[in-house]
Structure 1
Amino acid sequence: MTDTPEQPVVLLVEDDGLLLMEASDTLADAGFTVVEATHADKALKVLENRDDVGVLMTDVDMPQGSMDGFALARLVADRWPRIPVLVVSGMGTPGPNDMPDGARFIPKPYEPTTLVRTLRAFVRRAA
């Protein structure tokens, strides 16, 4: 077995229980530690209480909570600029002011390999 750098904690924000479970399992199988949140307000509580979150992955359309995934992405980029942001959505592509600088977007449905590859690239870039 080769020595690989430890994968960071991924804060996964997804309101659909099945998609949350599938993405969480995919990321855990790839060696990431996953912390789950079902909406933006829960995600913010996680970020305020943990200092080990290395990547935020958020869905856009979340009926619960006070904001959607785009607003969460912008807030995290502003308050925690060291945390890279990945936004996923099946509702179309982001508009010109939806995403913070440096954030990445993956449309749903996404291939698990695309998700893992994108997050690993984020980890390398942020390191």
Structure 2
Amino acid sequence: MNKPELEGTAHLLDELDKKLMVLLRDGRTLIGYLRSVDQFANLVLHRTIERIHVGKEYGDIPRGVFIVRGENVVLLGEIDTEKEGELPLSEVSVEDILDAQRKEQEQKQDQQKKIAKALQERGMHFMSDINQEDMY
């Protein structure tokens, strides 16, 4: 007899106790073992790490037990533990990856400022230059 198809967040019940990668709305990447899930797709991850990627390097920050609201999940999937060690990336210390991430963010901000300035010189406004109050 065929197993009945689960609908909605019930699909996540098949992922309990598996190692998952979760991409959050704010861009963070979490890797941990799924311990619990509810009808809103809220997740409880155990032995969680936050993985930060910059170029071809990554660093892992231990986070322990992590509760994630379902509305913040963009993507989630099971980690293939056999292929996990074959990453084409090199692991660096937490301090090094945080420093690289800070430098990368500074470069992006500088680039956005240049774009905003160029648009402003042409009479246009970059969205970050517009006050929230002006939008309503």
**TM superposition score normalised by structure 1:** 0.28
**TM superposition score normalised by structure 2:** 0.27
